[in-house]
Amino acid sequence: MKPLPSWHRVNINTQDALSTSYKWFYREPRFLPNFRVWTVESNKLFKKSWIEYVNSLGLELAYKSIIFYRPIGTTDQMAHIDLDANSTQDQIKSVPFAINWVIGGKHSQMHWYELPEGKMHVTKNAPSVYDVKWPIEQLTKIDSVEISDQATLVRVDLPHAITNDHEYRFCISVRFNLENYQWDDVVKHFEEKGLLL
């Protein structure tokens, strides 16, 4: 059976999703010279009306979502998989998916790589943000896509990384409550709800 791609565009309107109090993130990017990660409570990051809209689609937002920032000229040297906040070195639990969209980041690319074999080592990047990393030169690339302001279902339990050359890039990464789903289950779930484009 042919493997599923690592991303799908989805029919979720994100045009007016962010709460006004969080729009400062992308108004003054010159004050953010380095790569940053913020975990934010979903009911604070997003407008109440947008949360209700997402609920009406049959989706439930997780307690927290994530904002990733990268300056111009960023090329990740490490790829990572996303982990559940309850992961430990002895019990690693990956997160299979997110809905991402980008503010800025013209022509930036998200890349996916084959998952290498061997022991994984957990890293904490920010409050409630855990991952496992590998040097990109050790990995085999299997997929790439330009993430834009169009909501995109992305696989995050495979190693992935970003290249960003032209503009400041803010990625809004929405997390959902779908327990015990693997990537193919997630794709089927979104397809059954008529959300895949």
9-44 pLDDT, tens per residue? 999 999 999 998 876 666 665 566 677 888 899 999
Mean pLDDT over 100-106 rounds to 93
Inside any domain, residue 108: yes
Q: Identify the residue with better confidence: 154 or 168.
A: 154
* 149 within some domain: yes
- Give a yes or no: residue 27 inside a domain: no
Q: State the amino acid at position 178 in one-letter form.
A: L
Q: pTM score, two decimals? A: 0.91
Q: Does 17 fall in a domain?
A: no
The answer to whether residue 1 sits within a structural domain is no
**What mean pLDDT, rounded, does the chain reach?**
88
The domain containing residue 110 runs over which residues? 7-12+35-192
Domain membership of residue 71 (yes or no) is yes
Does any domain span residue 2?
Answer: no
Better-predicted residue by pLDDT, 104 or 35: 104
Q: What is the pLDDT of residue 123?
A: 74
Total count of domains within the chain:
1
b (16+ CB within 10 A) / e for 111-122: bbbebeeeebee
CATH at 123: 2.60.120
* C-beta separation of 168 from 110 below 8 A: no
